[in-house]
Structure 1
Amino acid sequence: MAKNKRKIPDVSVTQSNIPEQQPLPLKSDFNFFPYYPRWINTTDSFYKKYNFTNKLKNAEEFSNNITEITTVFLPKLYQDFSNIFNPAKHYGNCHPVAKEKVELVEKISREIHGSDIEKIDFELLNENRFEWWYLGFIGSTRLVGLYDGDSYRFYPMFIDHHHLIHLNDHFNQSDYERYGFCPVMKYEQNNIPSK
């Protein structure tokens, strides 16, 4: 019996399009500190007076935005917080909240968190190196929270899904008033047993 003598082609090595991964850092001084659990909550109470809502069109929009926060925002914050929270660096779309917007940001935070933060004295926090920050990297999603420069902790207070705190014609649309999806309300409807 004769053996089949087909020539086996040489295996060639091809370049991969996958970027080389850096080793995981052992430690970061930065902490994303979601101490107030309702930071993903939404409100439309400020739409008529301040043209602000962070209600969403639907669950898909929320899914896209929270994925952006977990896959883009968080890694960047942990990798480069010292540049992000340095206003002189002008990192991405990250900057302290403008002074004329601080009162609105505090009102929205109180509305979203309710009794969880009713005893917070924001004025005292601001005097003690806590500063309101507006964080964005790609798209219109912005994260609003308090940054403690001494402990390198960022406390998310709410998401500005539509870039409405600091208006930008590139991101803003005109139909936000119709949006009504709130992920927290949907979760509570589906997971909290009725009494």
Structure 2
Amino acid sequence: MAKRVGKAGKAKRVVKTETPRNNGIISFNFSEYEKWTYSIKCGKFNNHFKNFEQASRHFYFILSELFPYVSSNTEEVFNGRQDHCHILRKENEKFARQVINKLYGNDRLDETIELWELGKPTQEIRVIGSFVDRTFYPLFIDHHHLIYPSKKYNDPDYEKYSYKAQDIPNEYN
């Protein structure tokens, strides 16, 4: 014999579904431009590493320090009060677009999209990407501060580096 099921009644609580709001905090989308972590050489640009250890330190810094720092300083970033976070202009933007075109192809990024550089004081590592509202889409990493060259931040031996981010998974096999 089948069990008797009680009468369906009204729901005791109503759950509203809404699109989550980020309350002004910068969020990050890592899936749109899948090669953002790749190493590439393009003219005078080289974001290869010295070795696996340097690559590990850089990626750890980006995920554990740089992105949380940028996210917690949202208003300063968008108001231009964060020295190492800004829109790329003129020759620096042109240089970054050359790297992007080599990495993704010439038709992947619209020329009207503003490119941003995100960084943290005292560190040479910069992430280049674009914002749509308050979501940042990383396009590539400038590990050696080459889009805005600076003797203070550039590693003098970066041109010799050949360890690729794409080789990291091989370290575990």
Q: TM-score, normalised by structure 2?
A: 0.76
| Alpha-carbon separation, structure 2, partners of 1:28 and 1:59 | 37
| Alpha-carbon separation, structure 1, partners of 2:23 and 2:163 | 35
Structure of larger gyration radius: 1
- SS class of match (1:124): coil
Aligned pair partner of 1:144 in 109, 124, 128: 128
Counterpart position of 2:110: 122
Deviation at 1:104, TM superposition (A): 1.4
Give the % identical residues.
Answer: 27
Q: 1:169 to 1:79 in 2, by over 3 A?
A: same
Counterpart position of 2:28: 32
- SS class of match (1:57): coil
- Equivalent pair of 2:52/2:168 in contact (CA under 8 Å): no
| Alpha-carbon separation, structure 2, partners of 1:122 and 1:166 | 22
The amino acid of 1:171's aligned partner reads Y
Structure 1 residue runs of 5 or longer lacking an equivalent are 1-25, 126-130
| Alpha-carbon separation, structure 2, partners of 1:104 and 1:27 | 32
| Alpha-carbon separation, structure 1, partners of 2:151 and 2:135 | 31
The amino acid of 1:164's aligned partner reads L
Counterpart position of 2:78: 85
Matched positions, count: 150
- SS class of match (1:155): strand
Counterpart position of 1:153: 135
- SS class of match (2:111): helix
- SS class of match (2:41): coil
- SS class of match (2:127): strand
- Equivalent pair of 1:140/1:163 in contact (CA under 8 Å): yes
- Equivalent pair of 2:119/2:127 in contact (CA under 8 Å): yes
- Equivalent pair of 1:97/1:134 in contact (CA under 8 Å): yes
What is the correspondence of 1:38-187 to structure 2 with a 5 Å cutoff? 38-46=35-43, 51-87=44-80, 89=81, 91-114=82-105, 118-125=106-113, 131-137=114-120, 138-148=122-132, 151-187=133-169
How big is the alpha-carbon RMSD for the aligned residues of Structure 1 and Structure 2?
2.3
Deviation at 1:175, TM superposition (A): 1.8
The amino acid of 2:119's aligned partner reads G
- SS class of match (1:145): strand
Q: TM-score, normalised by structure 1?
A: 0.68
Q: 1:191 to 1:38 in 2, by over 3 A?
A: farther
- Equivalent pair of 2:40/2:47 in contact (CA under 8 Å): yes
- Equivalent pair of 2:42/2:98 in contact (CA under 8 Å): no
